[in-house]
């Protein structure tokens, strides 16, 4: 909502949104295809992903007060990498039967996609000095 409106109001905003959406879709489809074709089990990443998520939430809360643009860039880059890990993990759980509640699995993949999209949108916005 409000974030897309922010980018839509910029000179290159619509192009940034489409770039972020295309990049997010390519990453999501590529990682999902990798998990499906290789049948690798990424359940070992659970602890690392959870710890990384807690660290990123803590860093984001601290940056609310510090307001560092360098920290904002670093946090978004780290969240983008973290979300790629979550895509691998969540897709693997669905493939290997670790997640039997398909509503929860769908919501998890949706959140992975949205969070990756938001992080990439911020990174592209920073790269274009927006």
Cβ atoms of 126 and 117 closer than 8 Å: no
Domain count along the chain: 1
Helical H segments across the chain, by residue range? 2-8, 13-38, 46-66, 69-95, 102-127
Q: Would residue 11 count as lying in a domain? A: no
What pTM, to 2 d.p., does this model score? 0.91
Question: ∠ CA(28), CA(57), CA(128), 5° rounding?
Answer: 60
Q: Would residue 1 count as lying in a domain? A: no
pLDDT for 92? 96
Q: Would residue 3 count as lying in a domain? A: no
Q: Would residue 70 count as lying in a domain? A: yes
Give the structural domain span for 64.
Answer: 16-127
pLDDT for 125? 87
pLDDT for 130? 47
pLDDT for 11? 79
Find, among 88, 108, 87, 86, the residue nearest to 40 by Cα. Answer: 88
Q: What is the pLDDT along the chain (130 residues), one digit of tens a residue?
A: 667 777 777 778 889 999 999 999 999 999 999 999 999 999 999 999 999 999 999 999 999 999 999 999 999 999 999 999 999 999 999 999 888 899 999 999 999 999 999 999 999 988 776 4
Q: Would residue 111 count as lying in a domain? A: yes
Residue 73 structure tokens: 């860039």
Residue 62 structure tokens: 């601290």
């Amino acid at each position: 909502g409000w974030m897309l409106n922010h980018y839509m109001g910029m000179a290159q905003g619509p192009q940034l949104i489409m770039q972020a959406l295309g990049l997010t879709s390519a990453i999501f489809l590529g990682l999902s295809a990798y998990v499906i074709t290789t049948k690798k089990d990424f359940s070992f990443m659970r602890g690392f992903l959870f710890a990384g998520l807690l660290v990123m939430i803590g860093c984001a809360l601290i940056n609310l007060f510090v307001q560092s643009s360098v920290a904002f860039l670093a946090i978004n880059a780290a969240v983008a990498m973290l979300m790629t890990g979550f895509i691998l993990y969540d897709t693997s759980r669905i493939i290997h039967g670790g997640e039997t509640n398909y509503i929860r699995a769908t919501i998890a993949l949706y959140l992975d996609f949205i969070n990756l999209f938001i992080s990439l949108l911020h990174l592209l916005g920073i790269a274009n000095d927006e």
